[in-house]
Structure 1
Amino acid sequence: MENIFVAIITGGLALVGVIITNVASNRRAEEKLRVAQAITDAKIEELTREVRKHNNFAEKIPVIQEQIKVVNHRLADLEDIERKDHP
């Protein structure tokens, strides 16, 4: 009978130890996940800023290309006028 009580007490203490260890381990894992998530969020924000910058630049390129075409045509027109005035 005494052996049964000792076994129950030992088993109960072992169970408490396992529960405490699991709770502590879960807390550490959750904290690591929170830190990793914060780092990931910061990186995503930085990438978002970079993409927005790139998109703004990409939107301006066609406008610049069109302006260059206009300038080239005007320059060609001026060169034609210059050639006609000074044969």
Structure 2
Amino acid sequence: MTDAVLVALIGLAGSAIGSIVGVVASAKLTSYRIEQLEKKVQAHNNLIERTYRLEERTEVQEEKLRVVNHRLSDLEDYHKGGN
């Protein structure tokens, strides 16, 4: 085997190993970034769910407040009419 062929084979092996290492590193980085995005999406979804529950509770409290105000108004009207 000539020196040129040996150098070419060593260069080929080095390029192949470098490419494989690069692909593996890129895959790991991509996997890590996807995991981080999934965590962010989950946190966002949790926030949306909590906000939705808070909005529902706020609507219930506002309805209760409207009822109380209506009752107070009725009592005030009754009190004014009774005097």
Alpha-carbon distance between aligned partners in 1 of 2:61 and 2:52, rounded to the nearest angstrom: 15
When the two structures are aligned, how many residues end up with a matched partner? Answer: 83
Aligned pairs for 1:1-87 within 5 A: 5-86=2-83
Question: Which segments of 5 or more consecutive residues in structure 1 lack a partner in the other structure?
Answer: none
Q: TM-score, normalised by structure 1?
A: 0.82
Alpha-carbon distance between aligned partners in 2 of 1:24 and 1:69, rounded to the nearest angstrom: 67
Could you say what the CA RMSD is over the residues aligned between the two structures, in angstroms?
Answer: 1.6
Alpha-carbon distance between aligned partners in 2 of 1:66 and 1:41, rounded to the nearest angstrom: 37
Q: TM-score, normalised by structure 2?
A: 0.86
Question: Which segments of 5 or more consecutive residues in structure 2 lack a partner in the other structure?
Answer: none
Give 1:49 deviation, angstroms: 0.6
Alpha-carbon distance between aligned partners in 2 of 1:51 and 1:66, rounded to the nearest angstrom: 23
Alpha-carbon distance between aligned partners in 2 of 1:60 and 1:39, rounded to the nearest angstrom: 32
Larger Rg: 1
